[in-house]
Amino acid sequence: MTLIKSISGIRGTVGGACGENLTPVDIAKFTAAYARFINSRCDGKRIKIVIGRDARISGEMVEKIVEGTLLGCGADVINTGLCTTPGTEMAVITHKADGGIIITASHNPKQWNALKLLNSHGEFLNAEEGHRILELAENEEFDFKTVDEIGKVVAKEDFNTEHIKQVLKLSAVDVEAVRKRRFKVVVDAVNSIGGVVIPALLRELGCEVIELNCLPNGEFAHNPEPLPENLTEISSVVVREKADLGIVVDPDVDRLAFVSEDGSMFVEEYTLVAVADYILSLNQGNTVSNLSSSRALRDVTEKHGGKYYASAVGEVNVVAKMKEVGAVIGGEGNGGVIYPELHYGRDALVGTALFLTYLAKRNMTMTQLRATYPAYFASKNKIELTPAIDVDKVLVEIKSRYSNENVNDTDGVKIDFADSWVHLRKSNTEPIIRIYTEAHTMDEADALAKKFINEIKSICQL
């Protein structure tokens, strides 16, 4: 069992001993620390916090603890109930709240849950803010409010319909163009909140929807990370039903992957590439993705006359770089699309609407559109951390060995070779080292990953 405390929040497996797992005590302590932090920035006024959750089995339990703790800290609460991560972020903006807590462990298996923390802009806290909350959680003696000072639940409301409305109002979303194509779409939402919002969005766009794993009961039908090895069912259904495409989202609906009409993966790295290609065709500008994302975004950006920038891994880092360089589109290669015209957060709903608009306007099939982009293949691997693995030692040694190459140590170590790259970094959310590689063929990417996995094992004498 595991409990991970980081600058992005608290994440762990549900149940077990306090301080070692995600327990009611840990949830209450961390929520109280967050409330104390937000209070310190609001000059004594009563704070207002939005909360929302995905459909995990433990979600209702965690939600009640978070809500009650916030009330005990004197905060008023807007509870959006079952809501996506981007929807909760937008609810903070719409309600002009002082912050938000998203109850989700994203792509982690069902035994996990987490608290993701937002600022008043509906964006994730930065490193300095996250460190302060960790300090408060460990060092503060909490002083809760008296009966006359406790907060109130000022609203219990669904925000999913409003989220869809705001997506459809975007000037870059051509609802009529999509409706004319009458796309037939299979949706795999891994039995979470995406099973509610994605079909609803698609039907507003005039699509015929075939629902697969769309009952939001938290019983994930397969590993919830939208990787090819987890998507064999939807691939076969797309072919059997002669659908135009398949859409896959993770439990909290901030990651988006597509399946082509022949059952092949469009590849989640190319979700952002295709959406960026469309946005850049409307508005020339800069783009941003993290260091672990495909070179294809750089190629597409330069084709349109813009400049590509890379950030450290993590949505907060991508957003900071996007604001710094005035990017018109950005995100992460894990299928996370960030479109600033709507909000600064990864959003599978806006990604879906923009992608379908582009596919309709290009009048192409999925495989035809995919063939217009540079051919890169990514291999994503990981090594479970044990006491025998000294991550810092590994990264220093690898950097030294490849000092003659183009090395970036902004976040872990990334080595850019002429026709490929490798990025090694410690995960912020799991006890693992991630080894991501990219090359012009899958065999080359896999071989490069294997080479570095063996080097790490050699360094650690595993």
Catalytic residues: 106
Closest CA to 252 of 46, 9, 56: 56
In the Cβ-directed half-sphere of 354, how many Cα atoms lie within 13 Å? Answer: 31
The residue behind tokens 């840990």 is 26
Residue 409, token pair as written in the block: 């140590």
- Partners of residue 439 on adjacent β-strands: 377
Q: Are 346 and 315 in contact (CB under 8 A)?
A: yes
Q: Which amino acid is at 277?
A: D
Cα 14 to Cα 26: distance, rounded to the nearest angstrom: 10
Percentages (nearest 5) of helix, strand, coil residues in the chain: 40, 25, 40
User: Residue 88 — φ and ψ, nearest 5°?
Assistant: -65, -40
Q: Which amino acid is at 125?
A: L
Residue 357, token pair as written in the block: 């608009």
Count helices and strands (H / E) in the chain: 15, 20
Residue 320, token pair as written in the block: 């900071």
The residue behind tokens 């003659």 is 404
Closest CA to 200 of 187, 213, 190: 187
Q: Mind giving me the DSSP string for 84-98?
A: -HHHHHHHHHHTT-S
Is residue 260 left, alpha or beta, with left meaning phi > 0 and alpha meaning psi from -120 to 50? beta
The Cα angle at residue 371 between residues 352 and 416, in degrees rounded to 5: 90
Cα 430 to Cα 440: distance, rounded to the nearest angstrom: 29
Collapsing DSSP to helix, strand or coil, 15 comes out as: coil
In the Cβ-directed half-sphere of 137, how many Cα atoms lie within 13 Å? Answer: 20
